[in-house]
Structure 1
Amino acid sequence: MKVEEFREMLLKLKTLHSSFEKRFSGIYGEMEWEALAEKVKDLYALSGEMLEVASSLYREAGGFGGRIEEQTKELYRNEHQMKFRLEEVLHVLARGKDYETRLKLSTALDRLMQFHKVYDYAVWKALSEIMKEVEELGPFLEGEKEKKVPSGIMGELEKIKKLQSEFETLRGFLFRLYTHPGDVHKVERALMDWHSRGLLWVEARNVEKLSGVEKAGEILEGLTLIGVVEKKMRGGEGVYRHRSFGSG
């Protein structure tokens, strides 16, 4: 696939996502069962279209490699999860209106809303990063024969980007350590508290919830860089473990 075609697919997904977000707000506070079902069906159809585009992007991204491939995978994962959450709500809506079904619907909608809080940000972030990568690597990607970027060049570019990212993360962490040292202590203590409850690898949002510190993930990233915390990826999301606890 040519780079221009790849860009067009990205723009199409951005347009679809904007439309999805506008329609999604319509299900908040909707009390009519039939009206809610119609709105969710509409979102489900649009979600399927977005998943199809994201799937195509992911397949083609293998020819570019690097961050482009990584972020298109993230796009696909989020679109797939959103479609699954909407499908879950539709299945409950189709069962009837008895008390038990209403309870299940409430639970399914809660899960959908909770995921949506992460979904919207994650999709826009991934789209922005992919567009940025495509623009920066355009001269390399648009060779006469549409060759894949040489692995050596891509590797060096990725190293530079990683160092820049780590520097910004460390700078932000040191600023918070200087201005709000208590936040760093709360985050570290919350992480260890989760470990003591039996959870060895903890998501940033769980640490944030327990500590009450906003953007706890930024502090966890900083603690990871200085070696206090260990990080690994699970299901496309970072999870953290304090190094004072055993490995697992």
Structure 2
Amino acid sequence: MPIGAHVSIAGGIWNAPARAAAIGCECFQMFTRSPQGGAAPPLTGEIVAKFRAACTQYGQRLWVVHTPYYINLASGIERTRVNSVRVIREELERASTIGATYVMAHLGSAREVGEEQGRAFVVAGLTDVLRGYTGSAQFLIEISAGAGAVIGDTFEEVAEIISAVGRDDIGVCFDTQHAFGSGYDLRTPEAVAQTMAQFDRTIGLARLKMSHVNDSKVELGAHKDRHEHIGRGHIGTTGIRAFVQSSTLDNLPLILETEDEGREEDVRLLKKFTRT
């Protein structure tokens, strides 16, 4: 079960593996472009080779890519949807070029059009994203926290979208804070077992490919995306330990998305939980 964190690519993507190793990571997550917008920097053969060499040098077993924050497949603005489709597809291709295993995305908010139309837009968008795609990186839907009219905050909705797209190669990234914020309890071993059993019944554990492991600044069902360091939030040490030790994870990669200061301790704690 590789443990890792989201790290910066400042100065070039080849710097990410060293940053990951410096805080004890065995795997890492990164953006390949600015998460706020703008053109993606080129991935030349020289850059890719330098990045892959750094991954080997710093002992990184696996790396994944997160799409930019502005992705919104459920938007009422056609230009936004078209751009989101383009960027996700670009990130899948770029991730395949650098040997990343997964590319994950938030599906977006249907605030302007309502959730039913938003889901229809998402299904159409994902169908376009994956049409003709033959790369090695797998696309993952990330469970959302449910703020506003966000799409993908319930297991049922994610399952419905996957079914409608009709692709066997769509996976899921389970974010502990997002799930907790959406009302799925993870505070005790019993709660973890019940939540993951519900995930299995609804989406299927075969779709679960990795997890973002974050504690929560907000209470159960608050419908807000607010990450906290491990053991300092409302999920707590008992819940995070139970989740990490759950047999349902089956040695999947665990990625932290907590703030830089204190994240090395988060990595240490997750490693400790996997050993006890």
TM above 0.5, yes or no, is no
The answer to which structure has the higher strand fraction is: 2
TM-score where L is the length of structure 1: 0.28
TM-score where L is the length of structure 2: 0.26
